[in-house]
Structure 1
């Protein structure tokens, strides 16, 4: 799994690079995010462990993997994580709105779902 995670970190999408640039080094209210973090059998794009918040970025392929994503989200939620999903295009075109949604989720324990 370690080699797989390292490969994911080296081969980030442009959306992942852009969001990581804004999440790394505790830039969002001092919350620490990790990227490509394994949780059980899944590797999450970004996770803030202290707030049990997972942030997933979805490209076009996820429209055909909705059952897999639901199963994955159910696994994470059963372990106490909240999951936010954003389309890659939203991260690229509306980065500030995505960051604001993440900020709100960090301060609101009952927030979850997809940003559309």
Structure 2
């Protein structure tokens, strides 16, 4: 796997210090390991990309997508393919899902965790 560049690391630090509202809501829930006891990291550099949230122990990436992602479908598909080829599972959710019905998102992550714990 490629090592993250200093630029990627700097962008990740910036993302951690200035999260979107959906990211802040999701992180508030994850921060205390309230999701199956798993440790998640936010804005984690993975090769040339930055994962919104990642759980290294089960190799899970959770992406929260705003409206701009509708314009970046091809780039997101390339990114997901790279992450998958490097052993990660990617779950994508619209920002609105976090804000309107976060229980569905958390249940999807829990289900993945139960199926993929080693």
Provide TM-score, normalisation by structure 2.
0.89
> What's the CA shift for 1:11?
1.2
The corresponding residue for 2:13 is 6
Instruction: State yes or no: 1:107 paired with 2:114.
Output: yes
Which of 70, 75, 81 is 1:63 aligned to? 70
Q: Is the 8 A contact 2:25 2:98 kept in 1?
A: yes
- How many residues align? The count is 109
Q: Is the 8 A contact 2:44 2:52 kept in 1?
A: yes
Where does structure 1 lack aligned partners over 5 or more consecutive residues? 110-116
Instruction: State yes or no: 1:28 paired with 2:39.
Output: no
Moved over 2 A (4+): none
Where does structure 2 lack aligned partners over 5 or more consecutive residues? 1-7
- Secondary structure at 1:26 match in 2: coil
The corresponding residue for 1:112 is none
**Superposed CA offset, 1:33-54 (max 9, x none):** 0000000000000000000000
The corresponding residue for 1:114 is none
Provide TM-score, normalisation by structure 1.
0.90
